[in-house]
Each structure stands twice: as C-alpha cells, then as structure tokens.
Amino acid sequence: MLNNEKISAKTTQQTVRQTIQWASEQRDQFPIFSRHPEWSYLDSAATAQKPRRVIDFLQEFWCERNAPLHRGVYRLSAQVTQDYEDVREKVARFIHAGCGNEIVFCRGTTDAINLVAHSFVAPRLKKGDNILISAMEHHANFLPWQQLCQKTGAELRIIPLRKGLVEGAFRQHLQVGLDLESAEALLDDRTQFMALNHVSNVLGVINPVTDLCQLAKTKNIPVLLDGAQAIVHGSVDVKALGCDFYVFSGHKLYGPDGVGVLYGRSELLETMPPYQTGGDMIEFVSTAETTFAPPPQRFEAGTMPVSAVIGLGVAIDYFQSLPEERLLRHENTLLQLATENLRSTKSLQKVQIIGDETDLTRKVGVLSFVIEGVHPHDIGSILDSANVAVRAGHHCAQPLMADLKLTATARASFAVYNNERDVQQFCEGIEKVITMMI
C-alpha cells in the first residue's frame, strides 16, 4: 500500500550511501541524462523522463510491429491486438483490479475523469444532489465536477483543509492536510459521488483515501480516486483502497504520453453509456439503431494510441522491476535531504515549505515552497539558469492556491533517477535566487 510505512522515518548515513549507489545505476537507464548531464530534472510530478527500455521499445515497435488494432485479419494486426490486450491484463494485475475488462484505456487522467463524469455521474445527478471533492484537487478533478454541478443545479461540496505548522530553524513551515471530520459531515443522502486525489500534486501529501472510501461505502456513495501522482510512488491496490474508479496517466509513470488508464468496477462500467461514439466500440450498426460493445471496448472509440498503450506495458514492467522498498526509501531520502536543507540552512531562511510534514514518510517526493519577496516564476527562471528544472505556478490547483492565500508556489519533485547532487544543485540554485532577488 501507498503509505510509505515500509521505510523508516530517519535517514542514516548508511541508507544515504546505499541509495546513492542504487540511484546512479537507475539514472544510467535514462538516456536524457547522458545527453544532458548538467541538468537537475526536478519536475517529474509534471512528467517523468523515460527509461531506455521504453524508448527502444517504441522505436522497435514502429520498425517491426506497427499495425492496426482489432481490424486486420493478417498476422501483424492479430499480434498487435494481442499485445494491446495483454497490457490490459498487465494493468489489471498492476493495480489489483478484478480482471482486464475493468481497465479502459484513455488519453490520460483528465480524459478518464471526464469519461466518468459524462457516462457515470451525469446520468445520475439531479438538482439538489451533491458531489464531494476536496480543496486540494488538480483542475482535472475539479472542473468536470464543477461544470457538471453548474449544469444540473447540483451542489459541489468541498472537504476543507486543515492547516498546521512545522518548526524549522528559522521559521515555521506550512502543514496542509484534509479535514476528515468535516468530510463526514459533508456526506448526506443526496451525495451522489465523491472524487479525491490520492496524492496531492502540489503538497505531496498522501491522503487518507482508504478511510474516506470506507466512509463513502457506509453511505453507498461511489468514489473516484485520482491516482495521477500516487501511481508512481508505490504499489496501488484498488480493492484494498475500496474505490470504485481509479485513474492515472502513463507519462508520469515513466511511460509514453497520450495514454491513461481508467479502472472501474465491472458492475459500474456495465451500466454506463459510451463517452464518445465512433469506430471500434460497437457490436452492430444499422441506419435504424446501434448496439454498443460491452466494456471496456464501449469506451475506446476510434483509433487508440496503440504504441503508447503497449509502451505503457513496458513502463510498468520497468517500474515493477524496481524493488519497492528501495525506491521509496530513495525518493524519501532525497525529500528529507532537501527538506532539511530548506528548514535549517541559514542562507535559505527566507524559504517556506508549503505542505511540510513532521513525519516525512507521510508524503511522497514532492516539495512545494515559496520565498518571501520572490515570485515563484522568478525562482523558476533563476533555477533554470542553474540548470535546475522545477515547476513554478499554480500547478493547475487554483482553488488550493486561493485557500492557502498564494498565487503560486515553486515545486521540486523527485523520481528514481534523481540523486544527492540534484538536491545540492537545487539548494545552491535557491541561494542564487535569494542573492539575486533580495
């Protein structure tokens, strides 16, 4: 489960040394870092770099195996169809779904959420009903619900934040979580749906989604979990989480862009009308009427991103080849190093961490921060000049920013290929920001 319990809270010298060795081996798997050894790429929460396996696979795919899906009677097409369907089964095993039929391929997380909003929630939602989300959603898990509620006259309810402070050597850092008690009070018998992020893309905090799913279950409320950030930071078990839908994107999981996954419980998928109509999703079409294919094909209209789906299978193989405990420890070690630096380095005392935790195993390798008197965009540009790639902006989470009374933050995120040098380059870059701007 994604709770980082597998790793200890304290970083020892020995664990640091071990992870350094391991990380340098992992980094070698990513060709972009041999082309650009100068870069500290700390924006994996936006999109991850791709391992050689995935890159080589895609090239090989187009040289050797490219053919249309489902349509050809010839061997090349039959093989591609088989490979594509094998990935469906692989994804099902990867997230512990019941079977491949519970896996729908989409364009990404955004597309998957829109599918559920359109085909599952919209037909059930009436004026006076409500949908529950949280105050820390990505726009992808906010706008579809906001728009749907506006259209039907339903109410969008929002689980508020609970804010606290974490002491640093020079200042207090902001701790942000969900206010669970309020969540319970917000659910009632007109609540038709709950949609929550598993891990926040801004704060990195792992939300107590298992508890929230359980709570929803007692009231028979279906739940969608946005796993865009969570999927790459440990194993996900949709049955144990107790959700009805789970969504994620390939490109954050070291895989190709243009592909994402919707997991939906079979009983629910079967009740849902198509999202889009067109080729490949039918049983029979006549001028008078059409019968649609059963799920998952019903939701895969038109030519699918075949290479990306099969490439996602390769990325999952890569990800699963990483020993989970080591991966989590590695990412958490980097998070701890960076956090400790920001908390206790005198020259960095103007930095405030947004989404800090006293126990850092409660978050993944995502570190948002602001610097007093410096706009995050300027932080981003100056870090860029130090070859450090971070994200600066509202992170597609403007309601969260407004709640925190911020317009933007800068965010560093850590992945399997990052190392201690990246953290050092990052901290030196921030010193440069402070010297230049303040």
Partner 1 sequence: MGNIEQLYQDTILSHNRSPRNFRKLEQFSHTTIGRNPLCGDVYQLFARIEDEHITDIGFQGDGCAISKASSSIMSELVKGKTLTEAGKYKDDFLQLLLAAKEEQQESVLAKLPRKLQVFRGISEYPMRVKCATLIWRALEAILQGQGAEAETAVSTE
Ligand X SMILES: Cc1ncc(COP(=O)(O)O)c(C=O)c1O
Q: Which of 228, 281, 334, 434 binds ligand X (CB under 6 A)?
A: 228
Tally of CB atoms within 10 A around 159: 25
R_g of the chain, CA atoms, integer Å = 22
378 near partner 1, rule: CB under 8 A: yes
* 138 touches, from partner 1, ligand X, none (C-beta below 5 to 8 Å by class): ligand X
Q: Which of 49, 61, 108, 209 binds ligand X (CB under 6 A)?
A: 108
Which residues, 400 to 429, sit near partner 1 by CB under 8 A?
401, 407-408
Please give the Cα distance from 43 to 417 (Å, whole number).
12
Please give the Cα distance from 344 to 394 (Å, whole number).
26
Please give the Cα distance from 307 to 286 (Å, whole number).
31
- CB-nearer residue toward ligand X: 29 or 141: 141
Could you list the beta-strand ranges (E) of 215-270: 223-226, 245-249, 260-264
Q: Which of 187, 382, 400, 423 binds partner 1 (CB under 8 A)?
A: 382
Shortest Cβ distance from residue 406 to partner 1 (Å)? Answer: 9
Q: Is 396 tagged catalytic?
A: yes
150 near partner 1, rule: CB under 8 A: no
- CB-nearer residue toward partner 1: 157 or 394: 394
Please give the Cα distance from 330 to 416 (Å, whole number).
7
* 300 touches, from partner 1, ligand X, none (C-beta below 5 to 8 Å by class): none
* Residue recorded with tokens 């796993």: 227
Please give the Cα distance from 78 to 71 (Å, whole number).
8
141 near ligand X, rule: CB under 6 A: yes
Evaluate whether 224 touches 246 at the Cβ level (below 8 Å): yes
Burial class (CB in 10 A: 0-12, 13-18, 19+), 278: exposed
110 near ligand X, rule: CB under 6 A: yes
Q: What three-state secondary structure class fits 93?
A: helix
Please give the Cα distance from 165 to 105 (Å, whole number).
41
Q: Which of 29, 134, 229, 409 binds ligand X (CB under 6 A)?
A: 229
Q: Which of 102, 129, 226, 356 binds ligand X (CB under 6 A)?
A: 226
140 near ligand X, rule: CB under 6 A: yes
Shortest Cβ distance from residue 305 to ligand X (Å)? Answer: 13
Q: Which residues are known to be catalytic?
A: 396
Applying CB under 6 A, which residues contact ligand X?
Answer: 108-110, 138, 140-141, 197, 201, 226, 228-229, 249
Applying CB under 8 A, which residues contact partner 1?
Answer: 374-378, 381-382, 384-385, 392-394, 398, 401, 407-408, 436-437
